[in-house]
Amino acid sequence: MCVVTALASAVSVCASGQTTMTLNDCMRYAISNSTKIRIQQAAIGDAQIDRRDAALKLFTPQISANTYAYYNFGRSIDPQTNTYFNTTSFHNNYGVSAGYDLFDGFQAVNNYKISKTGILIADSQEKQVEADICLAVMEAYYNVVYYKRLCDVYEEQVATAEQALTKARRQEELGQKGHADVVQMEADLADRRYELINTRNLYGQHRMTLADLMFWPVDEELVIVTDYRSFAGARDDGTVLQTGSATEESIIDFALEHNPGVRIATWQQLNAKRQLNTAKWQLLPTIGLYAGWSTSYYAYQGSQTATFANQFKNNGGEYIQVSLQLPIWNRLSKYSAISRRKHALDKATAELDQKRRDVESEVRRAIQDRDGSAAAYRQAQRKAEVQSEAYSLNLKKLEQGLISPLEFQTANNNYLKAQADEMNSLFKYLIKQAVVRYYNGVAYIDQ
């Protein structure tokens, strides 16, 4: 089991009763509260509506009903005799009609296919947003752990320097140390305290960055797992530096087929082809089938007319219509539409080629960075072990007066740098390893 998975196995509770967030918990919380995810979910909703509208337009006719009523106070035509008269009249009409496009240049069919692809695009965009959020949270999380560990190291250094200074002052009183050595140790202690304050400030800043990425409530404290041993403890059995059996080419092939960015670009190119075909088909005639029924009622001032029920029944009529529309001259608008769709297809094709190239380069770079980080971490481990042993020996020499405080400060700085390099190389490797696994089909949140 990898370190990240081990950390994500459970949520612990600190002594104060507050929940302690693991890396996986932080990712899930960020995804569930991100405004970017909410925006993308709204886009998915729009895509589903587009698919519904396209399906209804493809498989169902248009149906409408209408009615109107009006008084006529001037000259009008008698519907019974078809002659003009000047009597005030009342007219009331009712109608129902339906229409269906038998052939519209496959516009409805292509729009339905485009709408189905649109849902796939929206889903992939949401996955891409989730991956971006998880990676940003992971980097921020490791930064918090890194600076928390540095704070612990500097606190240990400050405590050691305080003890050494107290002992040196006692030795000065006994004549065993010179005043210059004591002053040098006081200066070294001041440096350690200064570095501790700066590191604490950086630790606080990165905690705020992580909380912002997670949309954590501003009035609540964010507590995460910061025990460095939880990350570095697995190194003894080699589980941290496992690189997997997948080859570089197999990871690239998988990424080019399943990566959300590549799939989005592929579907966008497919939609561009469909839109171009639709534009070309619009040069052909369109055929429509229409049917309807209507009836009317009329009355004249000062005359007897049939009742509303009788007129409603007797005046009813139906019709069936087949229409053929030929495009003859529309100011070249359809030819312009074809040219624009061709340009859109060329653009989508270029974007797909660029995206495939970018993903391939990112995978190769991620694998190279992962392997390089693994080698750097192994060397940093060795350097940290050696510097730790050297620091212990120099501390004893300082206590025995065998080296000067300036020489001890140099050894101490080397020890601190070695520890910082070890932590930095470990977290850098964990991030690069997570990126490679992501391109190989394992989501960040599942690692």
3-class DSSP state of 143: helix
The single-letter DSSP state of residue 283 is T
H/E run at residue 67 = strand 62-72
CATH label of the domain that carries residue 390 = 1.20.1600.10
How many Å apart are CA 240 and CA 246, to the nearest integer? Answer: 17
Please indicate, yes or no, if residue 60 is contained in any of the structural domains.
no
Q: Which two structure tokens, joined as six digits, stand for 196?
A: 């501790």
Residue type, 225: V
Instruction: Domain count for the chain, please give it.
Output: 1
Please indicate, yes or no, if residue 191 is contained in any of the structural domains.
yes
Residue type, 336: S
Please indicate, yes or no, if residue 372 is contained in any of the structural domains.
yes
pLDDT number for residue 232: 58
pLDDT number for residue 131: 96
The model's pLDDT over 384-420, given as tens digits with 9 standing for 90+, comes to 889 888 888 888 887 777 877 778 778 888 888 888 8
3-class DSSP state of 13: strand
Of 302, 301, 297, nearest to 73 by C-alpha is 301
The sign one gets for the Cα dihedral 340, 345, 350, 352 is: positive
Torsional class of 323: left (φ above 0), alpha (ψ -120 to 50), beta (otherwise): beta
pLDDT number for residue 240: 54
| CB 373 within 8 Å of CB 429 | yes
How many Å apart are CA 49 and CA 122, to the nearest integer? Answer: 12
Please indicate, yes or no, if residue 389 is contained in any of the structural domains.
yes
The model's pLDDT over 338-372, given as tens digits with 9 standing for 90+, comes to 999 999 999 999 999 999 999 999 999 999 999 99
Please indicate, yes or no, if residue 435 is contained in any of the structural domains.
yes
Q: Which structural domain range is residue 413 located in?
A: 3-33+111-284+332-446
Burial category of 84 from C-beta neighbours within 10 Å (exposed 0-12, middle 13-18, buried 19 and up): exposed
The single-letter DSSP state of residue 219 is T
How many Å apart are CA 137 and CA 142, to the nearest integer? Answer: 9
| CB 181 within 8 Å of CB 405 | yes
pLDDT number for residue 242: 58
Partners of residue 92 on adjacent β-strands:
69, 297
3-class DSSP state of 401: coil
Q: Which two structure tokens, joined as six digits, stand for 358?
A: 């970018």
Q: Which two structure tokens, joined as six digits, stand for 387?
A: 């510097």
Burial category of 273 from C-beta neighbours within 10 Å (exposed 0-12, middle 13-18, buried 19 and up): middle
Q: What is the pLDDT along the chain (447 residues), one digit of tens a residue?
A: 333 333 333 344 444 446 889 999 999 999 999 999 999 999 999 999 999 999 999 999 999 999 999 888 877 776 667 777 777 888 899 999 999 999 998 999 999 999 999 999 999 999 999 999 999 999 999 999 999 989 988 898 888 888 878 887 887 787 777 788 788 888 888 988 999 999 999 999 999 999 999 999 988 999 999 877 777 544 444 445 555 567 899 999 999 999 999 999 999 999 999 999 999 999 999 999 999 999 999 888 777 888 999 999 999 999 999 999 988 888 889 999 999 999 999 999 999 999 999 999 999 999 999 999 999 999 998 998 898 888 888 888 877 778 777 787 788 888 888 888 898 899 999 999 999 999 999 999 998
How many Å apart are CA 361 and CA 364, to the nearest integer? Answer: 5
Q: CA separation (Å) from 162 to 22, 159, 172, 179, 289?
A: 34, 5, 15, 16, 95
pLDDT number for residue 18: 63
How many Å apart are CA 388 and CA 411, to the nearest integer? Answer: 10
Please indicate, yes or no, if residue 338 is contained in any of the structural domains.
yes
3-class DSSP state of 19: strand
Q: What end-to-end distance do the CA atoms of the chain give, in Å?
A: 9
Please indicate, yes or no, if residue 437 is contained in any of the structural domains.
yes
Please indicate, yes or no, if residue 302 is contained in any of the structural domains.
no
pLDDT number for residue 174: 79
